[in-house]
Amino acid sequence: MDKQRGFTLIELLVVIAIIALLMSILMPAMQRVKEQARTVKCMANLKQWALIIDTYVHENDGKFFSGRKTSGHWWVAQLDDRLESYKKNKIWFCPTATKPIYDEHHNLAPRFNVFSAWGIFTRDFKGVQELCEDGVAGSYTLNTYVLATENPIPDNPDGSTQNNWQSSGMRGAAYVPLFLDSLRFDTWPTEYDTPPPMPDLAYSDIHMRRQCIDRHKGFINSAFCDSSARKVGLKELWTFKWHKTFDTAGPWTKAGGVQPSDWPEWIRPFKDY
C-alpha cells in the first residue's frame, strides 16, 4: 500500500516564511491605501461643508455666520438643526479623528493628540442655550475671521473683528481658508504664531497650532472660500490670507526669512513655502 505523505516541518516553515515576507511587502501598501481612503473621505466632508456654508451665505445676503449673543464666535448655533448634532451627522469628523476629547458626561479622555476630536460641547457651553440636545463635537474648524459680527470676540487674540471678511466674494478666495482639519471648532491665527514644539502639543491658545497638526502625513485638508478643497502643507498655513490684513510674508514664511533650523525638529522634513 502507498504511504500517505504530509508536509515536513521544513516545508511548513518555508511556507510560513514566504507568507510573512509577502505580508511585510503588502502591509505598507495596504496602510497607504487606507490612508488615501481616509484622506478622500475627509476631503469629501470638507467639500460638503463648503457647500453648506455657501448655501447659508447665499441665503443671508452674502454674509457669513454672525455668531450668537455673548459668545460671538459660536457660529455652530446658526446651523440647520440636522447639522448641529454630532450624533446625527458624521461630516463633523475627519475619518482619522472621530473620538471627542470629552464625552457626553464631560469625562476627559486619558490621551489627547492630533487624532482627537474636540467636544463634546453641550447646553452649558459659556451660557449659550441654543445648542442641540445631543451636544456638538468634531475635528474641523471654521476660520472664524470670516464671521460677520461687530461684537468683540473673547477668543480672538486682540478681540477685534474689524479685519474679518464678513461676506463672501473676496479677491483671492482660493487662498482664504474656510473650513479645515483642527483640534478646535474656532481659530484666530496670527502671522506671529509659533508652530507647536512637538506634534502632540498642538492644542494651544496659540491659534495656528490648532490646525498645524500632522493628521495626514505632513498635511491637513482644507476647504477655501472659493468652495475648493485640497491638501495643505503644515508650513503652508502661514502663507494664507486668513483675514484682510494678514501678512502672507510673515516671519514663518520663506518670503519672511524663516530658516529650516527655525522650525521644530518634527516639522523640518516637511515642504517649505
Per residue in 179-230, pLDDT tens? Answer: 999 998 889 999 999 999 988 766 678 999 999 999 998 999 999 999 999 9
Cell of 13: 516553515
Residues forming a β-bridge with 219 = 233
Identify whether the C-beta of residue 148 lies closer than 8 Å to the C-beta of residue 66: yes
**Residue 120 confidence (pLDDT):** 84
Q: How many other C-beta atoms are found inside a 10 Å radius of the C-beta of residue 129?
A: 10
Tell me what pLDDT residue 22 has.
77
111 pLDDT higher than 80: no
pLDDT band for position 6 (cuts 50, 70, 90):
low
Question: Where do we find the cell 495656528?
Answer: 208
Does the structure show a pLDDT above 90 at 240? yes
CB within 8 A of 78, min separation 6: which ones? 56, 65, 66, 67, 68
pLDDT (0 to 100) of residue 223: 97
Express each pLDDT in 60-88 by its tens digit. Answer: 999 998 876 545 567 877 887 777 777 77
Q: What is the DSSP letter of 63?
A: B
- pLDDT score recorded for residue 80: 79
Single-letter amino acid, residue 210? R
Among 215, 270, 265, residue whose Cα is nearest residue 238: 270
Rounded distance between C-alpha atoms, residue 212 and residue 189, angstroms = 11
